[in-house]
Amino acid sequence: MRIAIAILNWNGEVLLERYLTSVVHFSQGADIYVIDNASTDGSVAYIRTVHPQVKIIENSENKGFAGGYNEGLKHVEADIYCLLNSDVEVTEGWLKPIRSAFEQMPEVSIVQPKILDLMRKEYFEYAGAGGGFIDQLGYPFCRGRIFQHLEKDLGQYDDTREIFWATGACMFIKSKLYHELDGFDEDYFAHQEEVDLCWRAKNDGHSVFYVGQSKVYHLGGSTLSNMNPKKTYLNFRNSLFSITKNLPRRKALILIFFRLLLDGIAAFRFIFQFKFKHSFAILRAHLSFYRQFHKMYHKREKANFITKYYLTTSIVWSHFVNGINKFGVLVKD
């Protein structure tokens, strides 16, 4: 089983200097690629000088996360793609449990390892943590991370189990499936495109798994921090895109109605917190969604729809009203 590790880079020379060495040292038996999104810094020169064994694919322009990978992976031959952020430090032996999962469980098509915080290594990291899920309204959350609350890693998620979505910070996916699904949806540009990809894979009958015996450390926020208004805009808009594309028509329309109401409440909450840019970002997200609704709706034509997509009714209610911060309290795992 041939694994290719593909790291998307845009002006990330500093990150490559810090973290690419761990990938080279601990990824024996895998091919390593850097897909460069038309960087203007010294990224490409650094790789060629310090890590000549790493293959470089140069995109002609910055196509964002989704488009950058879609273009770059056209030139990568492997059975399994590992999509790895440039701000991830991998650990010794990290590939072995992943390889075993694919080899021993043929139903597995997408895999995520345990994602820990590089700055606080005993804690889970925001992007992916112990595996991703969504609630009935389409809000994403993770084992080990509910909104901004991060759990300490006490071995509670060292298992191997099916999840709903795997993080784009470190996602393993069968190459054949990636191309059958036409890769990431480039209309997302960045953020939650991995939720959509996994949802489409599940609608097509594939399984997504978390393998807790493999772990990596993610810096996080190197592109956009969790509280950047642009990230707020992309997350709110792209979540609506995914609901439109991946649910049966009646259910999708009902959920969109409730999500628009809840998003409005979130916008007012930001106003009361004096985070006016975030409130405006939600308004912009809705306007963009309205403009592209027709386009997203017609992407549903390829989809078969699974009926059980959510793990809990409302993560918003559970967290903000009932005060639940831990996955183990939310769901008896």
Q: In angstroms, what CA-CA distances link 107 with 2, 44, 205, 208?
A: 18, 37, 9, 9
Mean pLDDT over residues 167-193, rounded?
A: 96
Closest CA to 178 of 68, 69, 316: 69
Return mean pLDDT, the chain.
95
Mean pLDDT over residues 212-235, rounded?
A: 84
Mean pLDDT over residues 127-156, rounded?
A: 95
Q: What is the pLDDT of residue 306?
A: 87
Q: What is the pLDDT of residue 333?
A: 58
Q: How confident is the model at residue 177 (pLDDT cuts 50, 70, 90)?
A: very high
Q: How confident is the model at residue 221 (pLDDT cuts 50, 70, 90)?
A: low
Compute, in degrees rounded to 10, the torsion defined by CA atoms 16, 20, 22, 26. 170
How far is Cα 87 from Cα 89, in angstroms, rounded to an integer?
Answer: 7
Q: What is the pLDDT of residue 224?
A: 54
How far is Cα 282 from Cα 262, in angstroms, rounded to an integer?
Answer: 11
How far is Cα 183 from Cα 85, in angstroms, rounded to an integer?
Answer: 17
Q: What is the pLDDT of residue 212?
A: 98
Taken in order of first residue, the domains within the chain and their CATH numbers are 3-218 (3.90.550.10), 229-330 (no CATH)
Q: Above 70 in pLDDT, residue 225?
A: no
Q: How confident is the model at residue 156 (pLDDT cuts 50, 70, 90)?
A: very high
Q: What is the pLDDT of residue 209?
A: 98
Q: What is the pLDDT of residue 226?
A: 61
Q: Above 60 in pLDDT, residue 222?
A: no
Phi, psi of 249 (to 5 degrees): -55, -50
The amino acid at residue 104 is: Q
pLDDT single digits (tens) 127-141: 999 999 999 999 999
Q: How confident is the model at residue 303 (pLDDT cuts 50, 70, 90)?
A: confident
